[in-house]
Amino acid sequence: GLKTGSFFYPGGNVTYQGEAVTLSRKEGVWHNYSDEQEWRANVDTVMGWFTHEDLALVTLYFGEPDSTGHKYGPESAARREMVRQVDRTVGYLRDSIARHGLSGRLDLIVTSDHGMTTVAKTAGDLVELHRFPNFTFRDIAFELLDYGPNGMLIPKEGRLEAVYGALKTAHPRLHVYKKEEFPPAFHYAGHPRITPLLMYSDLGYVIHGRVNVQFNNGEHGFDNNDMDMKTIFRAVGPSFKAGLEVEPFESVHVYALMCELLGIEPEPNDGDPGVLRPTLRSAAPLLPRRPPPLPMALLGAMVLLAKIHVALQSVGFGGPSNAGKSPEPMKPGVMAAVSTQAPDAPACRPQPLERLPPPKRPGPGLQAPGPRILGGMAPGGCSCTLDPKARAPRQLWLRVQAPAGQVEGPKLAKRIPTAEVDIPVLRSLNLPQLDSSRRCLQQQTHDDNRGWE
């Protein structure tokens, strides 16, 4: 099987059916999750696992900004500052991937398991079971309460209807159901271990049991249709299309995506691999085609690393940073198509091109966005035309491989001293003979209004 690792990831140090991850680290009970220097040391350790232990997947967990959000609330200054700290760490992570020469082999996924909302604390409007008339805990054989907005009860024999009747309309912010009537959209009540009575509260309201013991200013676990519960998903790496923006999707599909990237068959699950497959360079199934990539993930307070994936909660996704500076946030864009030109072919015919790396920032004088015309045309080139059915406005970028000094753009003060540069052009263009193979080279389309990743 694949070699895997887990760094503070929940459940990552447990043996399942006799199998365990290859390498793992588990934090202590009173671990300080907010130490930025430790975060960077953890990233360094994980990079070492990839480079020296040849792991295929590593999960890396950060306990922030979750802890700070619970303590001070999601709208607090402390929470905003912690988000900046997490953003710096994501930038450090991406820098580390580049420093270790893993950029071409590692896919990074940043996501989270939940959002967060401010807890309502108005006296007289709290959901307090111990204050409800006609309800008594003497009728309860088992309770699971005081865990935010959710609750589970097992009434004593013969008391189910009485307890249900007392709680059903006890508070306008509380929703109580018999197990068989619980909304199927939650995919929750079908298991035999689920209790006969289930309850949840409206956004911002937590459920207090025998006494009030919940004092968090921020909480999660509410209806996942509430916008405050939504999370983020960012993915970057050789397997993913550059700058692609997709419609919202359920996090249950991330597992199927990771299995596909790793080239393994998933266990039975509710995810659909087809939902996120369009985010990949090739929309075809990956299992028969190539070895597993390196995933890396950061989840809300968690990060998964493997030659693919990272996940993170409610924070911006930073790009590689300069030393001592915070990373710039990733800018969205859209990659629409690629095409290549075979040697001596009379015209440019679109062909599928796997794992095309994202375009580099334009050289001096080539400013994005906005269409530009390739300067320095030479005879003997071929003609390439962007599909006229492509959604406008788009601009075409050519990846030109040529000896240093042979590529020149308009209004360019000096020739570009590089062997590879991306040049923006109009929809129809001619390419000069820039190398001995007379290739029309690689093309990518990007949304005019979106900018660089």
Give the lowest-confidence range in 126-130, 158-162, 384-388: 384-388
Residue 28 pLDDT greater than 70, yes or no: yes
- 51-82 pLDDT, tens digit each: 999 999 999 999 999 999 999 999 999 999 99
Tell me, yes or no, whether 312 lies in a domain: no
**What is the pLDDT at residue 283?**
54
Is the same domain home to 370 and 417? Answer: yes
- 274-299 pLDDT, tens digit each: 999 999 997 544 444 444 445 554 44
The encoded tokens of residue 77 equal 């200054």
- 216-271 pLDDT, tens digit each: 999 999 999 999 999 999 999 999 999 999 999 999 999 999 999 999 999 999 99
> In terms of Cα–Cα distance, which of 207, 211, 201, 197 is closest to 142?
197
Tell me, yes or no, whether 204 lies in a domain: yes
Of residues 262 and 351, more confidence is placed in: 262
The encoded tokens of residue 40 equal 């960077």
Is the same domain home to 440 and 416? Answer: yes
Average pLDDT, the chain: 73
Is the same domain home to 112 and 238? Answer: yes
The encoded tokens of residue 321 equal 């940073």
Is the same domain home to 152 and 299? Answer: no
Is the same domain home to 111 and 149? Answer: no
Question: 29 pLDDT band (50/70/90 cuts)?
Answer: confident
Strands 218-219 and 57-60: unpaired
Q: Tell me the whole-structure pTM to 2 decimals.
A: 0.65
Is the same domain home to 132 and 204? Answer: yes
**Interacting residues of 138 by C-beta distance below 8 A, sequence separation 6+:** none
Is the same domain home to 231 and 179? Answer: no
Is the same domain home to 18 and 82? Answer: yes
> Domain range holding 237?
4-117+226-306
Beta bridge mates, 428: 385
Q: Which of 165, 185, 215 is the last residue of a domain?
A: 215
Q: What percent of the chain has pLDDT over 90?
A: 58
Residue 303 pLDDT greater than 70, yes or no: no
Is the same domain home to 452 and 343? Answer: yes
- 327-350 pLDDT, tens digit each: 333 322 222 222 222 223 333 333
Beta bridge mates, 150: 147, 200
CA–CA distance, 107 with 32 (Å, rounded to integer): 28
Tell me, yes or no, whether 420 lies in a domain: yes
Q: Where are the alpha helices (DSSP H) in 233-325?
A: 253-262, 273-276
How many structural domains compose the chain? 3
Give the amino acid at 402. Answer: A
> Could you please report the per-residue DSSP string of 163-232?
HHHHHHTS-TTEEEEEGGGS-GGG--TTSTTS-SEEEEE-TT-PEE-SS-----SEE--S-TTSGGG---
Is the same domain home to 140 and 257? Answer: no
Question: 89 pLDDT band (50/70/90 cuts)?
Answer: very high
